[in-house]
């Protein structure tokens, strides 16, 4: 828990969020500025800065983040039409909050992965 980390403070209940799923090790909540009809962030409760440090530091927990994302995708009705799961990482990746989070996006055709 880092007191200056926004998402650690959401885990601690110090900042409100619309939580859609919680497990012993993960939390999923709606993005405050949604980019699609469904836009949920899925995080590990313990602090890792990004998906690289999570994936190398605790691959089992990384898998639990993916499992929670899949459960939310199913609960939100996204499995039939599909969805996008992405981890912005570092400066070139456009990461703004340095507590690893998967963006789960869906509900409409999402278009090409990147604008050229």
Please state, in angstroms and rounded to a whole number, the distance separating the CA atoms of residues 81 and 97. 29
Question: Is residue 111 part of the contact set for ligand AMP (CB under 6 A)?
Answer: no
Contact pick of 80, 96, 115, 116 for ligand AMP (by CB under 6 A):
96
Q: Please tell me whether residue 4 binds ligand AMP under the rule CB under 6 A.
A: no
39 is catalytic: no
Which residues between 10 and 39 bind ligand AMP (CB under 6 A)? 15, 17, 29, 31-33
Active-site hit among 47, 99, 101, 103: 101
Which stretches of the chain bind ligand AMP, using CB under 6 A? 6, 15, 17, 29, 31-33, 41, 88, 94-97
């Amino acid at each position: 828990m880092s007191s200056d980390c926004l998402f650690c403070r959401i885990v601690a209940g110090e900042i409100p969020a619309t939580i859609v799923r919680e497990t012993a090790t993960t939390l999923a909540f709606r993005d405050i500025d949604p980019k699609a009809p469904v836009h949920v962030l899925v995080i590990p409760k313990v602090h890792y800065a990004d998906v690289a440090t999570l994936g190398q530091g605790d691959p089992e927990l990384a898998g639990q983040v993916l499992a929670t994302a899949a459960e939310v995708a199913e609960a939100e009705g996204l499995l039939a039409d599909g969805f996008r799961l992405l981890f912005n990482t570092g400066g070139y990746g456009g990461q703004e909050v340095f507590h690893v989070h998967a963006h789960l996006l869906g509900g409409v055709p999402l278009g090409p992965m990147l604008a050229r």
